[in-house]
C-alpha cells in the first residue's frame, strides 16, 4: 500500500520536513481517493489553509459534490493526466503502487504522502490534539468528545470515521486550537499522528492480516501512547481493560486512567443503565445522563469525559455535551419499524463489539433479538472464528450473509456457511434478497432486528423497510 510510504525527490532525505514545506498556502496538491471520509475532511482543511486542491475518486457521491461546490476539481476514475500541475500527492491507504496517478507522480519525481502523515503534520500545529484509539468504541468516543468540545465553545476541527448528526457529516473544520481525530491502528496508521491527548479505549486481537498477534498490537498502542509529549498532555487509558493497561505499563508519560474501577483517576460510580456520577481524583465532578444504552457506551462516555477534562472542559460542558449525544451513524441506529419489529443497524464487526451489542439489545426485553450478521474480511473471520460463534450465539436468532471481502480475496477458504454450522439454529443465505424475504416472512411485533457488520449489510434493513 502507498498509504504509509512516499517518493522523495533526489537529494532530500528529511521526509517530514518536506511534508511541512508542501503544506503551505499556494501549493498545489492532488489527492487520490479524495471522496473518502478522512480524505474529504483533509481536503477541506487544506483548502482552508490556502492550498490549491484537486483530486480523484472511483465514484461520485455527496462528499465529491460538496468538494466541487468549494471549487475543488475532482475527476471520477484514475488516470495519470489527473494529477495536472500538482506539486505533490496525498493518497488514501487503499491506493496501491500500480495506480496510474502514483505512476505518473513517480515519473515526475513528485513527493507522495499518506493521508495519516498529512493529518499528523497538521495536528502538530494545534494546542490540543485528542486522538481516540482502541479496538472498539473509537467512533462513538470521538463523537462524544466532539459534543463536549462544541458545548465548551472550543470550535474544534474534527475527523470521525462515521456520520455524526451534530455535524451533518463525519468531519468539521474549526477555527479553534483543538483537533479531535478518530485514530486507527490498522497498518500502524495512528503512529503518524501528533497527539497531546492519546485515548486508548480498549485493546483486543484484530487486524491479524497485519499484526502478528495480540502482543504485536499492544506494542503498536504503546508506540502510539509514547507520541504524547513528556512535558504536557496525557495518555488516557481504560483501567477496566487489562490489555490497554499492559500497553502503557511503565511508560514515561502522564498516564490518566478512566473506568468503573474505584481506583481510576476519572471514575464512574452509581451506574444505573443510563446515568452515573463522574469522580475525578476522589472528588465528585459531575453527573452524566446518557440517551444511548449499554455499559460499553458508559465506558465510551468516561473516555470522552477524561480526554476533554485534559483539555480544560468544565463539568457543565461534559454533562450537557453527553446528554445531547444521541448516537453516531450505524451505532445501534434505529432505522424504522416493519410489521411491529424494530429495525436497527450497527457497525460492529469484531466479536467483542458483537457481544457488547447483543448483550445491550437483550436488556431491552424484546420478544426476540434477531442478528443479521455480515462478517468483514476472510482473515478476521478465520482468525476469530470461535469468538464469532460464541458472540453470535447470544442472539435469539442469527441470520448470516456471505463474508464482505473488503480489501481481500478468499485465500483461506472460508464462508459464512461455516459459521452457520456451529451456531445453534443459525440461517445462512448467499444473497441479500433471500435474507430480506426471510425477514419479511418471520418478523413480528416485539422483535428487534439488527443488521450488523462493517460492510453493506445495512442495505438489508433498508430493503425490508422499503
**Mind giving me the DSSP string for 156-192?**
-EEEEEEEETTTTEEEE--SSSEEEEE---GGGGGGG
pTM of the predicted model, to two decimals? 0.87
Assigned C-alpha cell, 94: 487503499
Q: Which of helix, strand or coil describes residue 205?
A: coil
Please say whether the beta carbons of 95 and 2 come within 8 A: yes
Q: What is the pLDDT of residue 14?
A: 63
At residue 139, the 3 state secondary structure works out as helix
Domain 15-117 belongs to what topology? Rossmann fold (3.40.50)
Q: Give the phi and the psi of residue 300 in degrees, each rounded to 5.
A: -60, -40
Residue range(s) of every CATH 3.40.50.720 domain in the chain:
15-117
Separation between Cα atoms, residue 422 and residue 25, nearest integer Å: 58
* pLDDT at 13 (0 to 100): 39
d(CA 393, CA 374): 14
Q: Phi/psi class of residue 11: alpha, beta or left (left: φ > 0; alpha: ψ in -120 to 50)?
A: left
CA dihedral (200, 203, 207, 210) positive or negative: positive
> Which contiguous run of DSSP H or E holds residue 257?
strand 255-259
Catalytic pick from 182, 204, 320, 353? 182
- Residue intervals of the chain classified under CATH 3.40.1190.10 are 126-323
**Cα–chain center distance at 121:** 20
User: How far is 388 from 205, CA to CA, in rounded Å?
Assistant: 13
Query: Is 139 a catalytic site residue?
Result: yes
Cα–Cα distance measured from residue 459 to residue 449, given in angstroms and rounded to the nearest whole number: 13
Domain with CATH 3.90.190.20 in the chain: 333-465
422 in catalytic set: no
- Burial label for 214, CB within 10 Å (0-12, 13-18, 19+), is middle
Choosing from 44, 121, 138, 436, the catalytic residue is: 138
The reply to whether 274 belongs to the active site is: no
What residue spans of 334-457 are helical by DSSP H?
Answer: 351-362, 378-383, 385-392, 416-422, 432-442
Sheet holding 169-172, edge to edge: 169-172, 157-164, 178-182, 128-133, 197-200, 234-238, 255-259, 266-269, 275-280, 283-289
160: alpha, beta or left, given left = phi > 0 and alpha = psi -120 to 50?
Answer: beta
- Rounded Cα–Cα distance for residues 452 and 392 (Å): 11
3-class DSSP state of 241: coil
* Cell numbers linked to 223: 508506540
Please answer whether residues 419 and 385 qualify as being in contact, where contact means their C-beta atoms are separated by less than 8 angstroms: yes
Q: Which CATH superfamily is domain 333-465 in?
A: Mur ligase, C-terminal domain (3.90.190.20)
Residue 330 confidence (pLDDT): 85
Count Cβ atoms within 10 A of the Cβ of residue 25 and give its class: 0-12 exposed, 13-18 middle, 19 or more buried: exposed
In the CATH scheme, what architecture does the domain 126-323 have?
Answer: 3-Layer(aba) Sandwich (3.40)
Length of the chain: 466
pLDDT tens-place values along the chain, 466 residues long: 344 333 433 333 366 779 999 999 999 999 999 998 889 989 999 998 999 999 999 989 888 999 999 999 999 999 999 999 999 999 998 788 999 999 999 999 999 999 999 999 999 999 999 999 999 999 999 999 999 999 999 999 999 988 899 998 888 989 999 999 999 999 999 999 999 999 999 999 999 999 999 999 999 999 999 999 999 999 999 999 999 999 999 999 999 999 999 999 999 999 998 999 999 999 999 999 999 989 999 999 999 999 999 999 999 999 999 999 999 888 999 999 999 999 999 999 999 999 999 999 999 989 999 999 999 999 999 999 999 999 999 999 999 999 999 889 999 999 999 999 999 999 999 999 999 999 999 999 999 999 999 999 999 999 999 9
Active-site option among 139, 140, 141, 355: 139
Cell 475543488 sits on residue: 72
Q: Where are the beta strands (DSSP E) in 299-406?
A: 333-338, 341-346, 368-373, 397-400
Half-sphere exposure of residue 70: CA atoms within 13 angstroms, side-chain side: 22
Amino acid at each position: 500500500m502507498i498509504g504509509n510510504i512516499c517518493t522523495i525527490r533526489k537529494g532530500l532525505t528529511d521526509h517530514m520536513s518536506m511534508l511541512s514545506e508542501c503544506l503551505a498556502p499556494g501549493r498545489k496538491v492532488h489527492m487520490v481517493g479524495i471522496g473518502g471520509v478522512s480524505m474529504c475532511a483533509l481536503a477541506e482543511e487544506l483548502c482552508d489553509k490556502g492550498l490549491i486542491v484537486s483530486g480523484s475518486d472511483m465514484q461520485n457521491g455527496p462528499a465529491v459534490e460538496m468538494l466541487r461546490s468549494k471549487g475543488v476539481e475532482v475527476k471520477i476514475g484514475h488516470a495519470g493526466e489527473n494529477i495536472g500541475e500538482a506539486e505533490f500527492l496525498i493518497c488514501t491507504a487503499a491506493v496501491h503502487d500500480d495506480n496510474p496517478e502514483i505512476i505518473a507522480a513517480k515519473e515526475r519525481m513528485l513527493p507522495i504522502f499518506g493521508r495519516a502523515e498529512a493529518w499528523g503534520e497538521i495536528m502538530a500545529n494545534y494546542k490540543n490534539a485528542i486522538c481516540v484509539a482502541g479496538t472498539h468504541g473509537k467512533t462513538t468516543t470521538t463523537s462524544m468528545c466532539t459534543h463536549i468540545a462544541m458545548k465548551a465553545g472550543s470550535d474544534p476541527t474534527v475527523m470521525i470515521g462515521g456520520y455524526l448528526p451534530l455535524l451533518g457529516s463525519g468531519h468539521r473544520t474549526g477555527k479553534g486550537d483543538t483537533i479531535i481525530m478518530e485514530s486507527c491502528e490498522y497498518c500502524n496508521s495512528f503512529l503518524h499522528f501528533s497527539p497531546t491527548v492519546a485515548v486508548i479505549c480498549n485493546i483486543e486481537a484484530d487486524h491479524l492480516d497485519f499484526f502478528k498477534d495480540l502482543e504485536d498490537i499492544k506494542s503498536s498502542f504503546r508506540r502510539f501512547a509514547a507520541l504524547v509529549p513528556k512535558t504536557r498532555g496525557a495518555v488516557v487509558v481504560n483501567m477496566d481493560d487489562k490489555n490497554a493497561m499492559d500497553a502503557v505499563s511503565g511508560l514515561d508519560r502522564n498516564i490518566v486512567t478512566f473506568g468503573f474501577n474505584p481506583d481510576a483517576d476519572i471514575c464512574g460510580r452509581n451506574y444505573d443503565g443510563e446515568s452515573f456520577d463522574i469522580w475525578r481524583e476522589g472528588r465528585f465532578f459531575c453527573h452524566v445522563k446518557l440517551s444511548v444504552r449499554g455499559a460499553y457506551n458508559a465506558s465510551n462516555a468516561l473516555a470522552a469525559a477524561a480526554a476533554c477534562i485534559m483539555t480544560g472542559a468544565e463539568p457543565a460542558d461534559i454533562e450537557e455535551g453527553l446528554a445531547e449525544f444521541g448516537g453516531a451513524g450505524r451505532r445501534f441506529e434505529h432505522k424504522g419499524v416493519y410489521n411491529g419489529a424494530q429495525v436497527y443497524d450497527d457497525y460492529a464487526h469484531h466479536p467483542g463489539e458483537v457481544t457488547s451489542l447483543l448483550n445491550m439489545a437483550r436488556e431491552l426485553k424484546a420478544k426476540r433479538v434477531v442478528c443479521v450478521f455480515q462478517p468483514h474480511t476472510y482473515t478476521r473471520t478465520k482468525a476469530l472464528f470461535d469468538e464469532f460463534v460464541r458472540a453470535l450465539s447470544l442472539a435469539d436468532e442469527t441470520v448470516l450473509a456471505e463474508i464482505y471481502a473488503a480489501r481481500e480475496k478468499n485465500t483461506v477458504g472460508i464462508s459464512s456457511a461455516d459459521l452457520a454450522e456451529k451456531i445453534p439454529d443459525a440461517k445462512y443465505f448467499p444473497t441479500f434478497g433471500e435474507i430480506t424475504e426471510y425477514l419479511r416472512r418471520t418478523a413480528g411485533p416485539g422483535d428487534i432486528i439488527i443488521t450488523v457488520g462493517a460492510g453493506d449489510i445495512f442495505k438489508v434493513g433498508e430493503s425490508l423497510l422499503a
